Amino acid sequence: MQTGTGKTALITGASSGIGQELAKLFAQDGYNLILVGRSEDKLDRLSEVFKANYGTQYITIINKDLSKEDIAIELYDEVKAKGIQVDVLVNDAGVSTYGKFATETNWERERELVHLNILTTTLMTKLFLKDMVERNDGKILQLASLVAITPFPLMAVYAATKAYIWNLTQSLNNELKGTNVTITALMPNATDTNFFREAGAPELIVEDMTDKPDMVARDGYRALMRGEAKVVPGGFVNKAQEVMAYLTPQEGLAAMMRKLLTPKYDEDGEEETSPWAIGLGIAVAAVAGYALVRFLNHVSPEDKARFRAQVADFGDSIANSTTNALSSVAHSVAGEYLGLKADVEGAEEELA
């Protein structure tokens, strides 16, 4: 049983998924908790588990739908009225829709999405951040996403809201320099929760490539406690996708992300493109990114030949295996890689 810290963490979206796993980590470390969500029964059960397993001293349950107008002010006022100081704010709550923006999605749901993901998150951040700055102490974790830096056809509005959160968080990081207050953007890949079903999506290709929410929460929690500006949880593929997002032409990137959101089965029940092939395409793009980054960082003339050979050997082996995979997606990315590699080598030769 962890001795209490005397500090309080407020977590939105705490009743399931990443939010629930984050609440568990705070409970394990002895934080008092304010759990916010739409399912009061789930939050009550979670409270009982935390008290029994971790000896959590104080848990406050607040049942609110954060997609509604002015709800952030209501929540803030309720916390202040209870005399609770929020030392850590976790803005985890978020929703999405699925479908073509022009013809398939519902505006009322999208309006709630924008209100929750942008307006409520912004106002929650502003209200509690002001108190933290006045005390010169506090931490905030914002749930962004890897799609904050990529196009995301069929979930276009969701991705746009995550881009907003990402940008806001990085701007506030600069404004908070010189204080003891930190704000961290958590940028997970697709995660094994009920997110896609709640968005109204069928079973999608991307769901064969999801990360576990406990891993995402653990990496996010660690980065939060260290005061890091952002964290991409997980291993090589997720880090590679971040590199790919910065370096791949937007049209090609949009096509790849669209493929991830394609239904897993076609109308005849046949399985669509293998997620392995798409993952391979991401790896190829990462190799291209590695080549460009090394070049732009002004590798020494002595290293150029060795660097070119390493990239060529590794990248060509992946590209060749891709052509054998019969995947148009991965194959197109492999072609993109070969073109990028040629540009890098040509530029090197001009400068040599």
Write out pLDDT tens, residues 61-74. 999 999 988 899 99
DSSP assignment, residue 191?
B
Residue 144 has pLDDT above 90, yes or no: yes
Report whether pLDDT(36) > 60: yes
The arithmetic mean of pLDDT across residues 133-153, rounded, is: 97
Cα 286 from Cα 281, distance rounded (Å)? 9
Stretch 255-262: mean pLDDT, rounded?
Answer: 92
Q: Where are the domains of the chain?
A: 8-234, 238-351
- Alpha-carbon gap, residue 2 to 106, rounded angstroms: 46
According to DSSP, the residues that pair with 88 across neighbouring strands are: 9, 139
Single out the residue of 143, 325, 345 nearest to residue 230, CA to CA. 143
Could you give the CA distance from residue 315 to residue 285 in angstroms, rounded to a whole number? 9
- Rounded distance between C-alpha atoms, residue 259 and residue 154, angstroms: 10
DSSP string, 253-286: HHHHHHHHTSBSB-TTS-B-S-HHHHHHHHHHHH
Reduced to 3 states (helix: H, G, I; strand: E, B; else coil), residue 249 is: coil
Class of domain 8-234: alpha beta
- pLDDT reported for residue 239: 87
Is residue 265 annotated as a catalytic residue, yes or no? Answer: no
Say if pTM beats, i.e. exceeds, 0.95.
Answer: no
**pLDDT tens profile 70-100:** 899 999 999 999 999 999 999 999 999 999 9
Q: Annotated catalytic residue: which of 54, 76, 158, 221?
A: 158
